[in-house]
Amino acid sequence: MEKKINNIIISDSLKELYFFLKKNKFSKLIILLDNNIEKKCLNLLYKDVPILNTKKTIIIKILSGEKYKNLKTCIKVWKIFIKKNIDKKSILINFGGGVITDLGGFIASLFKRGINFINVPTTLLGMVDASIGGKNGINFYKYKNEVGVINNPIHTIINYKFLNSLPKKEISSALGEILKYGLIYNKKYWDYIKKINFDGKVNWVKLIYIAVKIKNKIVNKDPKESLGVRKILNFGHTIGHAIESLFLLKNKIIPHGEAISLGMICESWISKKVNNLSDKNYKNICKVILSLFKIRIIKKKYFKYILKIIRNDKKNYNNKIYLVLLNNIGSASFNNEINEKLIIKSIKKMNYLYYKK
């Protein structure tokens, strides 16, 4: 089965990439990847796209990990570009997870004021989120994704078979974002995901296709993030990101998807309190999330730190905290001003779910 949405293709092969590269005579083919991708995925790429398996292809390998998504790596890659005479008719293939596609998109967009690039995501998060929507960027001076550019790849080519080698924790990290898409935009998708047994056979093309379709629709309403509509993609992220940072402070890493799922529990509770979300739907959301992730208790002594992070959230303005809230399952609103007391109460309610189980 193959699915297409604009310039995004989802299937069980990369033959579209093969045809595209064959049809267009690019002067240089460059692949950006990390050490894990080289080991686990490069052979599969060569199998589907044999024209890449030649000495002429320029392979640029970086070390895997968020900490390399920085300016230092960009400079290193730009220097290689200059050494290898990369010109405007070259193409960069960003082959990897969200770190590679964020970084590679940024590198390509700035080099000679922009060269062609294609995304070939290899993580589930990359497939449903990072490789689409046109956001590229790097972390800068302690801040995540602080410097970047909105620019779309020529194509995003998704082959779900790369997921076979992906560690399970990376799959669950993406599940948080997938659940989010259902909650903010499409109840039917939510009903579909909650029935999937992720330990069994999964229809990846369908699952990824609907997620991409939802993100694409939301992004197209607000491509440059100027109207605000795109903010709904941040549901669960205000409190979730603070939880993620708290664990980082304690030198414990919890997957992003897990943190935002806990954030979605808190923000759903707030949606029940100040928006129209019904108690039945709130309970249903908790049940589904808790079947995939466990509650992490947030102790009272950390509430101050959580609020400090939340006050710095990108969606805030005029020193007020704004949250994305659910109106219902499948519908969200943004720019809801929320007071700090309610945020703390929502975290206490989440803690309470731990004891209730």
Ligand X SMILES: NC(=O)c1ccc[n+]([C@@H]2O[C@H](COP(=O)([O-])OP(=O)(O)OC[C@H]3O[C@@H](n4cnc5c(N)ncnc54)[C@H](O)[C@@H]3O)[C@@H](O)[C@H]2O)c1
Interface with ligand X includes 284 (CB under 6 A)?
Answer: no
- Angle value at C-alpha 244, between 242 and 250, nearest 5 degrees: 105
- In this chain, which of 125, 183, 343, 344 binds ligand X, going by CB under 6 A? 125
Q: Decide whether 125 or 262 has the Cβ nearer to ligand X.
A: 125
Q: Decide whether 171 or 285 has the Cβ nearer to ligand X.
A: 171
Interface with ligand X includes 40 (CB under 6 A)?
Answer: yes
- Burial of 280-303, coded b for 16+ CB within 10 Å and e otherwise, reads ebbebbbebbbebbebbebeeebb
Interface with ligand X includes 244 (CB under 6 A)?
Answer: no
Q: Is the torsion defined by CA of 301, 302, 308, 310 positive or negative?
A: negative
Integer Cα distance of 51 and 131 in angstroms: 23
Instruction: Report the nearest approach of ligand X to the CB of residue 23 (Å).
Output: 27
Query: 26: alpha, beta or left, given left = phi > 0 and alpha = psi -120 to 50?
Result: beta
Interface with ligand X includes 170 (CB under 6 A)?
Answer: yes
Residue number, nearest CB to ligand X: 98
Interface with ligand X includes 261 (CB under 6 A)?
Answer: no
DSSP state of 320: B
Q: Which amino acid is at 139?
A: N
Q: Decide whether 162 or 293 has the Cβ nearer to ligand X.
A: 162
- In this chain, which of 8, 94, 98, 180 binds ligand X, going by CB under 6 A? 98
Positions in 53-82 near ligand X (CB under 6 A): 64, 66, 69
Positions in 104-123 near ligand X (CB under 6 A): 122-123
Q: Decide whether 12 or 170 has the Cβ nearer to ligand X.
A: 170
The stretch near ligand X (CB under 6 A) out of 18-26, 29-37, 286-294, 336-344 is 29-37
Q: Decide whether 193 or 353 has the Cβ nearer to ligand X.
A: 193
Instruction: Report the nearest approach of ligand X to the CB of residue 219 (Å).
Output: 9
| CA 334 to the chain's CA centroid | 19
Integer Cα distance of 207 and 195 in angstroms: 12
Q: Decide whether 157 or 277 has the Cβ nearer to ligand X.
A: 157
Integer Cα distance of 256 and 177 in angstroms: 9
Among residues 336, 325, 341, 234, the alpha carbon closest in space to that of 271 is found at 325
| Rg over CA atoms, the chain | 21
Positions in 148-167 near ligand X (CB under 6 A): 162, 165-166
CB 126 within 8 A of CB 178: no
Place of tokens 């969606």: 315
Interface with ligand X includes 258 (CB under 6 A)?
Answer: no
The residues binding ligand X (CB under 6 A) are 34, 36-37, 40-41, 64, 66, 69, 96-100, 102, 122-123, 125-126, 129-130, 133, 135, 145, 162, 165-166, 170, 173
